[in-house]
Chain A
Amino acid sequence: MHEMGIAQEILGIVEREVEARPEARVKAVGVRVGRCSGVDTESLRFCFECLKKDTVVEAAELRIERTGADELDVSLVELEVP
């Protein structure tokens, strides 16, 4: 089930994004998953949930946008800043 590796990459990307903003809380992570990317979105959701605890995405919602081709990227992060 390679979706776990992908979920870990997503976590890594978000961690790097928020490194400079330790006061921010990640509310949502936007991910684009192409229909032809070979990635199963339900598996990805499940794996993301498994990974969340004690990470910067602990409280984050994973928003998956299905696109036409084979993209696979983190499109945005939504942060709550004090």
Chain B
Amino acid sequence: MSQVVTEKVGQKILKENDRIAMRLREEFARRGILCLNFISSPGAGKTLLLEKTLESFGPQERVAVLTGDIQTDNDARRLGRYGFPVRQITTEGACHLDAKMVENALTGWDLDSIDTLLVENVGNLVCPTSYDLGEAVKIVLLSVTEGDDKPLKYPGIFFKSGLCLITKVDLLPYVPFDMVVARENARRIHPDIEILEVSALTGQGMEEWRAWLSRRRAR
């Protein structure tokens, strides 16, 4: 006479990507590398923000950049103009970077000569959420042309990000974006998320962004 038995398992489903990401995270920790994963919708201003950030660094800064796109090396060429090592990851179809791509892209670089690794993800607010790259912090960019309810529509990435950069604030006079509402929405999803408002174009807020970076690098 058969009987039904329920066995508790409680086993985390560790995707293959998570295993590689853990390896990367350990490697970064060992070498004191701060890795930041920049995520946003296409066109929210990741590349310009990174350009302006690199521009503000002195030549002694030990920073390197990985930039992901489905096609072209346009972003790597833009970012490569500031004198720091930059590599393009061309996914040729994948809508997100994954840990394996990052691991492969780092081959041949002397990791002991890098203190900060900036990773620009493929423009996408959905899929990158699920792919840990071994980063210390996920940074989500939300531009004022996108709508102040974005955090509610894409809770996953806002939940997982440590910092939200609200970008293109120079355009605020021309768009119906309500900054108070946007900030409330972000905090509704993730009460402890840090929020900074920037315009990479005009420089507004960029000093606070650089200060955030410095504090993070000092940790």
Contact = CB atoms under 8 A, between A and B. Distances in A.
Nearest to B6: A78
Contacts of A35: 155-156
Contact of A74 (B9, B16, B17): B9
Contacts of A13: 9, 11, 13
Given A36-B159, A82-B2, A75 B8 contact: yes
Nearest to B8: A76
Nearest to A68: B159
Majority SS at the chain B contact face: mixed
Contacts of B15: 2, 5-6, 9
Contacts, number: 81
B88 interface: no
B159 A76 contact: no
Interface size class of A (residues with CB under 8 A): 20 to 34
A7 to B, nearest CB: 9
B10 interface: yes
Contacts of A37: 130, 156
Interface of A: 2, 5-6, 9-10, 13, 17, 24, 27, 30-31, 35-39, 69-82
15 contacts: A2-B15, A2-B17, A13-B9, A17-B11, A30-B9, A31-B13, A36-B156, A36-B160, A38-B130, A38-B156, A74-B10, A75-B8, A75-B10, A78-B6, A80-B5
